[in-house]
Amino acid sequence: MIGGVVLIRIDNDNPKAIYEQIYDEIVRLIFSKSLKPDEKLPSVRELASMIRINPNTIQKAYKYLEEDNYIYSIKGVGNFVKDADELRNLHLKNMKDELYKVVKSLKELGLRDERIIEMVRDILTPGTKGGNDVNDK
């Protein structure tokens, strides 16, 4: 809740679990700077009431957000947003780790470095040559 408005959207048709959607939405709000560093998040009960979700689901999302260093909690006070620059660096590190895994998997499939780089270029500049043909090594 920011300025009295709930900005968390839950899609019941989404195959992701509700707690994952809440997690993703709060991360989105942090990176869009809608949630500021050290800003207090709604309590578990408040947020559960606002978006009509079981408090245990909110607690689970908050638990994972804290484990992943997006928020911190102060016992008896509440949950707060961590510093955005620190979070951005953490997020970039996590994305780099994911990219490493993808590139490693592509190499294990036998793709040459040049083909992997070409695939990345295709993603960065959509509508250019190449496209989706991953069969050529």
For residue range 29-48, list pLDDT tens digits in order.
988 888 888 999 999 999 99
pTM of the predicted structure, to 2 decimals: 0.64
**Residue extents of the structural domains in the chain:** 18-82, 85-124
What would the two tokens of residue 12 be? 């019941």
Q: Which residues contact 6 (CB under 8 A, 6 or more apart)?
A: 50, 51
Q: Which helix (H) or strand (E) holds 73?
A: strand 71-74
61 contacts 54 by C-beta, under 8 angstroms:
no
Calculate mean pLDDT across residues 57-73: 94
Degrees to nearest 5, angle at CA 82 with 67 and 73: 60
Q: Which residues contact 16 (CB under 8 A, 6 or more apart)?
A: 24
**What was the pLDDT predicted at 4?**
47
Class of domain 18-82: mainly alpha
Q: Which CA distances in Å does 37 have to 68, 70, 89, 97, 122? A: 15, 10, 14, 25, 36
Q: Give the Cα separation of 58 and 51 in Å (integer).
A: 10
